[in-house]
Amino acid sequence: MLIKKPDDIKSSEITPEHVYRNRRQFMKDSSHFILGAAATGLGAAALAQNGDALKARAPASLQRSAPAPWWEQKFANIKPAPDSEPYFTGETLTPYRDVTNYNNFYEFGMDKSDPSRRSGEYKVDPWSIEVTGEAGKPGTYHLEDILKPLDLEERVYRLRCVEAWSMVVPWIGFSLGDMLKRFEPTSNAKYVEFETMVDPETMPGVTSRFAIVDWPYREGLRIDEAMNPLAFIAVGLYGSYLPAQNGAPLRLVVPWKYGFKSIKSIVRINFRETQPDTTWVDLQANEYGFYANVNPNVHHPRWRQDMERRLPQTLFSRQYIETRLFNGYAEQVAHMYDGMDLSVHY
């Protein structure tokens, strides 16, 4: 699948927020019909009709890059997010153009616009993930084999960058824990490590003389964090396929942690007994910790963490809001850090 650059997408082709919100309500109202139709043998027709509507909503370039039919069918029956926390925020969604044009993805370049401008040749078909380490079912899994048994759902999460900007993104995907359980992690699996794709031919940042990363990009979670119901694998956003600059074909979303923990374009999963070395900890351990929980009481050496700049923004219009502990998800995740000094385990 070739994902076109968002620069090629006309503004008129991007789903406006109010249209997207109306679609969410339609999905909720019609989901019982689709499930019932599937049970009575009408499922294929219902899925096809819903899939056509999805393609009509998506930007034209994403329609042209639609992957294999099995993938399209997965997107034809997305479970909508509920209208309450923790899988929905009630906050204004960050516009599609900002979500897809303001990104940190250094494999494509250091500037926020580089991923959207420079990812036009990036390919995600075929795609496979290598599973290694403390697991009963290690091996190399094709993307289709991983995703086919999993149902897609929508979750609207806050995304908080350590650089003190934030978004509200409607992701499409599935529970990280549901995927990991299929690999049967053993009792020795205390951590899970992830690696990002490295492709010098289509990722110009990899060969840049200004690159600061020792590729591949690596991140990790403690196993209980990975199994927390909030931890999510995203394969889409705003009701359509995940663009290259946002981590196609699948990326991690950990909403209570700073954005650099949510690794993109995953090609390797390694179950470990010991804490993995991660990219930003290796680069600057005094600035970036392994846990990276959003914490307004522990400041980064270069950015205060008690306030955040909510996108979108203009030169003359910026919205600042207070940052909440664990990015507002304390009720769901704080118990995992009982007894830990979060200023030490940052």
pLDDT number for residue 57: 35
CA 101 to CA 172: how far, in whole Å? Answer: 18
Q: CB burial class (10 A; 0-12, 13-18, 19+) of residue 329?
A: buried
Bridge partners (DSSP) listed for residue 123? 2
* Residue keyed to tokens 């219902």: 46
* 90, HSE (Cβ side, Cα atoms, 13 Å): 5
Query: Nearest Cα to 75, choosing from 227, 234, 197?
Result: 234
3-state helix, strand, coil in the chain (%, to 5): 30, 25, 45
Report the DSSP pairing between strands 218-222 and 191-196. Answer: antiparallel
Amino acid at 187: S
pLDDT number for residue 316: 81
pLDDT number for residue 236: 96
- Kindly write down the DSSP assignment for every residue of 268-323, as one continuous string: EEEEESSPPP-HHHHH-TTT--SS-B--TTS--SSS-SSEEEEEEEETTEEEEEEP
Report the DSSP pairing between strands 128-133 and 139-142. Answer: antiparallel
pLDDT number for residue 219: 98
pLDDT number for residue 73: 82
* Residue keyed to tokens 């650089």: 163
132 phi/psi in degrees, rounded to 5: -135, 175
Are 82 and 163 a contacting pair, CB within 8 Å?
no
Q: What is the pLDDT along the chain (346 residues), one digit of tens a residue?
A: 333 333 443 333 344 555 555 555 544 444 432 323 332 232 233 223 333 333 333 333 333 344 567 778 888 889 999 999 999 999 999 999 999 999 999 999 999 999 999 999 999 988 999 999 999 999 999 999 999 899 999 999 999 999 999 999 999 999 999 999 999 999 999 999 999 999 999 999 999 998 999 999 999 999 999 999 999 999 999 999 999 999 999 999 999 999 999 999 999 999 999 999 999 999 999 999 999 999 999 999 999 999 999 999 877 888 999 999 999 999 999 999 999 999 999 9
* Residue keyed to tokens 């663009």: 243
Q: What letter would DSSP give residue 19? A: H
3-class DSSP assignment, residue 321: strand
pLDDT number for residue 303: 94
Specify the pTM.
0.83
pLDDT number for residue 68: 67
Q: H helices of the chain, where?
A: 17-39, 43-57, 60-64, 69-75, 96-101, 114-118, 143-147, 176-181, 223-226, 279-283, 330-333
Class of domain 89-337: alpha beta
CA 232 to CA 309: how far, in whole Å? Answer: 24
pLDDT number for residue 21: 54
Q: Look up residue 195 and give its two tokens.
A: 């690696």
- Kindly write down the DSSP assignment for every residue of 129-189, as one continuous string: EEEEESBSS-EEEEHHHHHTTSPPEEEEEEEE-TTSEEEEEEEEEEEHHHHHHTT-B-TT-
